[in-house]
Every structure is written in structure tokens, then in C-alpha cells.
Structure 1
């Protein structure tokens, strides 16, 4: 019912023109800006975002809240506006609501006062007349037959009439305001003139009086012109409406006539084509019967109708995957109509079939989608954890009740759950856009941990895990436990789609009584062949809360710097820790992609358990918080956000299967041809997956104790060798030899980071060496079977 029209904003802009950049900004029929609002005696004035629209003044904490949370609203139609001093003003609504506001300067305060008064006058003027605003339009609008296309024309005419009527009403409102303020100015000048001041003050008053007289003369002339225009507009208003309606009716009749002519032309054309086809079929002797000729004639008709239809400039038709599968004649199912991204994903089976032409004919292995349900075992948690406070978790023997039937090597391979992000990154031509996908990949690895409160099995020294998804997804992954104390695993992934991923992760964990902190140490590397871009980043800290009392839940916190060592680009990601008092969304992640000069190009936002979006930065500026200049905050103006990653839904019944993802359900699936040291051969892990937890506990303790014995024996041998070397004069400066040499990785210095890491040597794990003696997996399997 109440509105602030465009003419109000134009007049407001003319009144408040100032060479300085204004804080509030008009936008359409609204007026927005930052104003300081009194909150309480503790916080004082706080910076708030105010919006004046449709006769209502609303405020928000930030601009982002405009879409969902309004902190308060005052109806200006019944509000009182008063001025306290140069910068302060008060808005009250009959004692129910009172806003004590303060602008940054007197000019800005005057802008708001003028805008508020104009909106209040407009709201008060429009409120009683709003009921009759549509009578003329409804009475003068002629009915239009359905299907004639007159609905849009009628709405256009009504919209134009509403706009004209609104402008006339705006002019009337401005006329009243000018008369009101002019009278007040005249009274004030008369009061000043009656004081009979002498000297400089008297001269100033006379100058002001002369200028006010000129303003009064000009205003009166404008008021008279406005009054004449209003009278003329009101006299000709209905005449204009009738003229517009007549034009609309004439247009509708012309459209009907054209439509009839088109139908007649269409009918004649079909008749001509049918006659020509009948003559041709009569002259040519062929095997085609009358039915075939009639069918052909129908086809011609269909083609003619399609050609006569008005085609849009372009048409977007979604492709049906089932149609492509059904209509494709090649082996790989590749369709040339797919977009480039989809083409590259479907070309891989063809590229892989070069060595074996019949490889694509072999169907892909059907992976399992379920594992046995988790048994309901009760356990006194405090009886086990009370002696573990302050100790490193890797040195504490834990029952399988705290585990999930998967090893740390397999859990590390779960980072490839969203490998398609790296596939898309490999196709990017811009290194900055590629950085967005790499950063989203670094966040996506945490989405699998949202419900996963179980601890993975600690790998035994020399344990390996190979994940071959070359035919399905184009990559092969290999992990090996290269150190026992501290526990460290090396991971290497090779993809046919142009990227390589490698990492060496050492996990340090501390139990603090109420929560458990898990701190991954090590660097992750992603290398892209086409662009030669080399990215590195580290993992953040994982915290498991409510260890003693309550429901377990997991949080990720910390900061990640994704660095492109080739171009110098950098992305700083921040994982906000959960806080009960924070108003931000839980599990929030924010980041900025910058080039080597520190200029921001993209802004990333989202949550590590749901999705990530990125927006291109168009402009950035620094602004003090709450009007102060001490603490600066960067404000980015961005384009519309685009989703770069979203979490895949969990399989059905995941709550009874340790909340495993679709990939995690297949990681421990038995496969032939893997190395004897592969995690799939661990008997304790297999027993736990099958629900035989008591047997799994016994076997887990036996394997871990066997490993500890082997380690102590190796340490004794190393001490003896060291003692003998020290007694020998020829080897006084020699160092003890390493107690373990990894099979598929070699220890060397990383050229990029300068760290001592394990790098993949190459080779095929499945055809590797026999099981190590201290590992004894095959022996353990025989003992279980007998």
C-alpha cells in the first residue's frame, strides 16, 4: 500500500548532491546505507545496515542478513522524526519503537532526514488513496479473448498507466513538501527580521532574506507550473487511457488478421505440396504402395509445420543419459554431442584399450554396496581412557570397539572420493581458476569425516594398500607404511587425466580428557602435466569432542595455504572452529585466491561437510570495522557465486555401516592379485568387518605384540652394530643404519619444500615381493583357518 517512487529518489539525489561519496546509496525504490544505532550502555553505538523501502525503515547487522534476518522495522507513516544535534536523530513509532541513530557527519544525517521525511509524506499520502488506485484501470480495460495474446498487451498498458499516475502523485507530493518547507522558511525569516539586529549579523540576515525571497519567487513559479500540470494531467488522464486501450485493441485485431492469413497460406502450401507429390508418384513406377505415399505426405506436413514455427535465437536441450546409452553404437559409449568436460571423462576407456583392443568388452567389476551391520557392543570408555590422558594415542593398545573396519592407509585413499575435482582442474587454462578446484579438493577430503567417529586400524610396518580405479576413474593409488614410530604413511596417485598426487602423512594425536586432537603432519603435492603447475598444502587439526560424556562429534579447525610453486599463486583457507556463541554457519570454510602480487581474484566460501562455492572478485577495498580506522577489513565485490563442489549423499543404511561412503564400502573388498602385504589381508580387520569383534581383538593384540617384539629385536641388533662401529677406529664417524627400508618408496629430499620425504620409486605392487617375516599376514591367515 505504501511506496517510495522513482521521482522521490531523483528529488532526493538532487537535494543531497555533494562532491563527496555518500555512504547511503539509492537503489531503485529503496534507500540504503550504514548508520550507527544505539544498542546499550555497554556497547554504545554499533554500525548497522539500514534500508528504507515502501515507507518502512528496517535495519540489519550486515548486508548479508538482508535475505534472511531483519533486526527491526518501523512504519514511517505513523513515525515521528526528530533531530538531536549535528549528527544524531531519533525515529519513534508511538512509543513502541525508538531508534537513536547517529550519522558519520552532518551532511549524511541531512540526507537521511530528507529521505525519511519524503518517504513519510509519501506513505501518509498514499495510504488512504490506495484502495481506489486500480479502479480506472479495471474499468477501462477491455476483455481479451483467450489465446489472442492480449494478456501481455493489457498488462503493458496497465503498467504504463500506473507509472504515469504514480509520477503525477509524486509531483503532487513534492508540491506539498515545497509549500510546507517554504512557509516554514518564511516564518523563520520573519522572526529573524523582527529582532532588528545591527552590524555584521544584520547584514548576514539581510543577505539570507534576499536569497530566500528569490527562492520563494522561484518556488512559487514552480508550484504554479506544477499545479497547472497536475490539473492538465488529471483532465487528460482518462482520455489517454482510452487512446491506449484503442491502440491495444487495434493491435490485437491486426494480430488476428495476420494469424488467419498465415493459416490460409499454410493450407494452400500443403495442398500444393501434396498435389505435386501425388503427380510425381503417379509418373514414377515403383514398389511403394499408397500407404507409403501417404506416410511420406504426412512427414512432409510435419516438416513444413516445424519450418513455419518461430524459432528462438538459441535452444538448450538437456541430454538424456539413457538415450545416449541406447543410441550409441561404439564400445565406449562416447557421444560427440557431450560437452568437452564430459567428452574427456568418457574418452578414457578408449585410451586405455590401446594395449588390449578387447579390454572395453570386459564389463567393469561390480563393486559391493554393503558390508555387515555394525554389532551393538557396550564398552566402559572411561575404564580404558583414564590411563591415556596426555599420552600419544598411537602408543596405546586400543580394542577394536573404537575402530572402524578400515586401515589408515585405506582412510588415506579416501581423499580420492572427489578426484573429479582434480580432473576438472587439469583442464583449466587459467592457473587461478585451477587453484579454486585444487582448494576445493583439499576441503572435500574432510566431508567423509562428519559422522566417522571411529578410529582406523594403525597399519603395521611395511603394510601396503593399492587402489586400482584406472578403468572406472582413470587413476591408481598406492600407500605404504614407511615408519612405525612415529607412524608415517607414504601415498602416491597417478591419473591418466593429467595429474599426480603424492603425500606423506604422520599423525600426532593427544587425548585431553574431554576431547581428542589429531594433528596430521606432512605436505600434500598435486602436479599437473599440461600446465606443469605444482601445488602443495597441509592438513588441518581434527578434534573429536565429548570423549567421556555425550555424543561424539568431530570438528575441523585451522588454516591451509595452497601454494602454486610454478606461478606463485596462493589460496588461504580458514576452517572456523565451532563456537556456541557464533552466529556463523557451523563448519564454515572461507578462502581467497591471490596471485603472486597479492591481488585477490576469487573468493571461496562454504562448509567442509556440504559444499564449496567460488566467486570472481571484481573490486576490493579496505574498510574500518564499526567506523574505526584501527582495525581494517577487506571488502570484496564479487560476481554471482558458482558451486565448485558438493558432497555426495551417503548410501542407504550408512548409519549401520559405520557411515561409510560409497567408495569406503569398496576399499576393504577382497581382490585377487594384490600384494600379500595389502591391508585387505589383515585378519583382525577382516574379522571386525564380519562382526566377530572378540576374535578380532585377540588377533589385533597378537599382531601388534609381534610387531613390537620384532622392533625391539631390530633395535638391539642396531645397538650392537653401533657399539661395534664405535670400537672400530675405521668407522668412528659412521652413523647407525636405518632400521627399515620401504619397498615402494625411497627416502630423499623434496626439491620443492626441502623436507625429507618418501618418493614413489615405480613398479607394480601386485607383482611385488613376498610378505615380510615380521608382518606374518599369511601365517596369521593359516592359523585362523586351522
Structure 2
């Protein structure tokens, strides 16, 4: 193939050839001149040549906050920090993990197309492009709030009905269900982390299933891990590298995509390359693009080379974004947070109603921090009340199953949607609606036991 052809295909074959045997690394600099931080690395994805100490101080932390936080964090190096720390609100975004779970529905039209597609391999292109699309939202460097046990998030007016619930606190686990006339989506999610000092590896322990209604095919998704760099020193940035595998459990077809790591001077950053294979593991279509921009596909031969006379066709492109948005939100992310697009008779457990989230959205960090602490105290009190009564927490919209699924990073107990939310929403829609002001004044309440005692320090 000519160099011009390689250029036209976005460096696809060069990326595949390098694979994962030739991992590149962004420029790393050790912060050795700051007392107490010797050996910590600041990684600049753009490969700049700025002084390491100057670069390290460009993050969002104030000096005194950085010092205090590092004294707490250094003892957790090498550990899973998913639920062992209380984090300051100034590193958070006004959204919870449950809402972030719903962001995968922004480009759900791709699943609609997959359902209607007659070509089994192009169907996998649509479906896997949908799975890739959510990474454009995952590049945000702000941390969402951890959901309170029993907290929910519901979305009904974006071409799909979505419900998510925090079904476990230790370990933190969320379950989600979405549906429209084309597909059913079910997920159980449990994150595992490894703190490395100035970065954290995030492993997506979960089970994701999509059922396309037209032919009844079931798709299974295994996503790649993610890494958050420069948590304390330097400007935080997100990278995802590894394999994404989507398997058609009905036919045996699958998609194998390689998320390339960020290399020197940003080389390879965001790049995704791979193939759609049939059940005999023969390549049928190649896929290439960037997870923050667009994905294209092209027919290929048995060697994975593009078929003569064919060309790359774009199947997904990220939507336009608001300019200078503080939290790097898309228009869809703003809708997720808005009371204007909330369903009528919103559940009292819905993430939109959290007082800490609302305060942070208004820019009141002091109130957001106080409200966050209050919610965490109430969660402890509710747990005490349940234990005193000898009761276990019972999710409302999802039921635990006996199924345990194995992932590359650990086992997962699977929860299944019990169908009760669909009945609730149908009934709630028939009631008198509440205006936006009424929704905003509704009190956040995910608790199963309401006689909460929230003295400071009570456990």
C-alpha cells in the first residue's frame, strides 16, 4: 500500500502493526525539587518541555490543599481507593456516577441503526461505535459524586427510557436499564481502582448486555481500562488503552478494537483501530478513528487489507460542544442535569435532587461540601438503623441474581431489572404533573429508614 493510502486511512495499519508490543509513553517528569514529593511523576501528554515543578503546580489544587491531601493519600499507594476516601468537592462535577452511566445513551441512535441493519457485520459496526462514543464524555477531568445507597437516576424523554440505581455501597455498585422500540440495555457496574501516587488506574468490572429487538440478537461488551493522570500535580487528563471486545452471543461474530495509549508528544492519543470478525474469526470490516472525534469503517480482505475500490465511511462523529464550558459538558450532559427535561413526578431518590450537586452547580463550594458531608452522615445513620432492625438493604428497581460473571479484572455479582420501574413510570405519568419549581423544591430522599441520626463522628 502506498504512503498516501496509509495517510488516507488515518495511520490504521501503522497502529495495528505496533499493537501493544510497542507501548509509547507521554513525556514523564519526576517532581524532585518539591519537598515531600520526590519521585512523583507529572505526565504531559503533549510532550512539552516546561520545567517539571512549574508544570506540577498548574493543576486545580491550591498549595495548602495539595499538601494536606497528599499527606492523606500517600499511604494508599497501590491500593483500591474506590470507596475508602472522602474527596473534596472542588475536584468534582455537579453530576453523580448514575448520571454518568446515562451518558452512554447520548448516541443511542446507533443502536437503533444496528437493530434495523440487515448486514450482520455493519450491525456490529453501529453497535461498537455506540460503545466507543461514550469515551468522548469520559475524557472530562472532573470526578462525579459517588451515589448514596438507594439513589436513582431516571431519564424518559431522550428517545429512550433509562433507570439506574445504586444497589450496593460496599463495594460501590450501580445497575442500569434502558429500553426503546429498538433495543434493551442492561448493565451492572462495579469499578476497581489502583492508586499510583499521581495517577489512578480504573478497571471497569461490569457486565453490559444489549438485546436488539428485531432479530433478538444479544451483544456483550467488555470495555478497556482507563487511567487518570496528574491527579494532584499538573493538569489532569484521561487516557484509555487496551482492548474493547463486543461479542454477538447469538451468532458468534465479534468486534476487537485496540485503544492506543498516548505516546511521545501525544502520538496515538485517542486512536482506536480494529476489525469486525465473523464466527470463524475472519476479518470482514476494519474500523478506525479516534474515540473523542469519529469512527469509520471499510470492507477488508482475509489479511485485513482494504478491498480495492472501497473507501472509509464515517459512522459516528461527536456532536458539537458548548464553548468554554467549565465542566466540559456536552449539550446532552446539560440535559441530564436539567430539571426542565426531568420526568414528571420525579423519584425523590433522583440524583438531580441531591443538595450537594445542586450547590456545586450553582458554584457554592462551601455549601456543596457541607451538604456532601451531611449526606454521608445520613448514609451511615441509615445503615445503623437497618442493622439494628436486622434488615438488609433491598434495591427497588433491580434484583440480585445468583449469576456471577468473570471479567479481566475480577468477578461481578449480576443484578437484573425487575420491571417495576416501567409500571411506576406509567402510573406517574398519569398523575398531575409538577412544574420545574416544584421539582427543584422536592427533598432528596433515597433512605429506606427515615429516622436518621447524623451526629458528627457517629459510625
Q: Same fold (TM over 0.5)?
A: yes
Does the CA contact (< 8 Å) of 1:543 and 1:556 recur in 2?
A: yes
Cα-to-partner distance string for 1:716-744 (whole Å, 9 max, x where unaligned): 665xxxxxxxxxxxxxxxxxx8x321111
Counterparts of 1:581 and 1:699, CA distance in 2: 42
Counterparts of 2:6 and 2:273, CA distance in 1: 15
Cα-to-partner distance string for 1:502-540 (whole Å, 9 max, x where unaligned): 111111222211212222210111101111110011222
Alignment partner of 2:249 out of 565, 590, 595: 565
Matches within 5 A, 1:454-465: 454-465=142-153
1:614 aligns with 2:302: no
Alignment partner of 2:118 out of 429, 449, 455: 429
Q: Residue 381 of structure 1 aligns with which residue?
A: 66
Counterparts of 1:382 and 1:448, CA distance in 2: 30
1:597 aligns with 2:286: no
Q: Residue 64 of structure 1 aligns with which residue?
A: 6
Q: Residue 517 of structure 1 aligns with which residue?
A: 201
Does the CA contact (< 8 Å) of 1:426 and 1:528 recur in 2?
A: yes
Alignment partner of 1:743 out of 373, 396, 405: 396
Alignment partner of 1:413 out of 102, 106, 124: 102
Counterparts in 2 of 1:777 and 1:448: CA distance versus 1, 3 Å: farther
Does the CA contact (< 8 Å) of 2:405 and 2:414 recur in 1?
A: no
Q: Residue 416 of structure 2 aligns with which residue?
A: 759
Does the CA contact (< 8 Å) of 1:561 and 1:571 recur in 2?
A: yes
Q: Residue 164 of structure 2 aligns with which residue?
A: 479
Matches within 5 A, 1:614-653: 614-617=297-300, 619-621=301-303, 635-637=305-307, 639-653=310-324
Q: Residue 39 of structure 1 aligns with which residue?
A: none
SS of 2:156's equivalent? Answer: strand
1:666 aligns with 2:335: yes
Unaligned runs of 5+ in 2: 12-59, 429-443, 455-459
Q: Residue 301 of structure 1 aligns with which residue?
A: none
> 1:381, CA displacement in angstroms?
2.6
Counterparts of 2:449 and 2:85, CA distance in 1: 20
Structure with larger RCO (C-alpha < 8 A, sep 6+): 2
Which structure carries more strand by proportion?
Answer: 2
- Normalised to the residue count of structure 1, the TM-score between the two structures is 0.45
Does the CA contact (< 8 Å) of 1:527 and 1:533 recur in 2?
A: yes
Number of equivalenced pairs: 375
- Normalised to the residue count of structure 2, the TM-score between the two structures is 0.75
Q: Residue 37 of structure 2 aligns with which residue?
A: none
Q: Residue 705 of structure 1 aligns with which residue?
A: 377
Does the CA contact (< 8 Å) of 2:277 and 2:285 recur in 1?
A: yes
Cα-to-partner distance string for 1:20-43 (whole Å, 9 max, x where unaligned): xxxxxxxxxxxxx9xxxxxxxxxx
> 1:475, CA displacement in angstroms?
1.0
Q: Residue 453 of structure 1 aligns with which residue?
A: 141
Counterparts in 2 of 1:460 and 1:572: CA distance versus 1, 3 Å: same
Counterparts of 1:501 and 1:589, CA distance in 2: 24
Counterparts in 2 of 1:544 and 1:756: CA distance versus 1, 3 Å: closer
Counterparts of 2:71 and 2:113, CA distance in 1: 48
Which structure carries more helix by proportion?
Answer: 1
Does the CA contact (< 8 Å) of 1:677 and 1:777 recur in 2?
A: no
Counterparts of 1:487 and 1:776, CA distance in 2: 22
Counterparts of 1:608 and 1:68, CA distance in 2: 13
Does the CA contact (< 8 Å) of 1:574 and 1:589 recur in 2?
A: yes
Counterparts in 2 of 1:447 and 1:773: CA distance versus 1, 3 Å: closer
> 1:680, CA displacement in angstroms?
1.4
Does the CA contact (< 8 Å) of 1:682 and 1:777 recur in 2?
A: no
Q: Residue 353 of structure 2 aligns with which residue?
A: 681
Alignment partner of 2:84 out of 367, 380, 395: 395
Alignment partner of 2:260 out of 559, 564, 576: 576
Unaligned runs of 5+ in 1: 1-32, 34-48, 50-59, 70-375, 622-633, 719-736, 781-786
Cα-to-partner distance string for 1:460-512 (whole Å, 9 max, x where unaligned): 0000110011xxx431100000000110100000112x111111111122221
Bigger Rg over Cα: 1
Does the CA contact (< 8 Å) of 1:687 and 1:695 recur in 2?
A: yes
Counterparts of 1:772 and 1:480, CA distance in 2: 10
Q: Residue 230 of structure 2 aligns with which residue?
A: 546
> 1:747, CA displacement in angstroms?
1.3
Does the CA contact (< 8 Å) of 2:228 and 2:237 recur in 1?
A: yes
> 1:384, CA displacement in angstroms?
1.1
Q: Residue 365 of structure 2 aligns with which residue?
A: 693
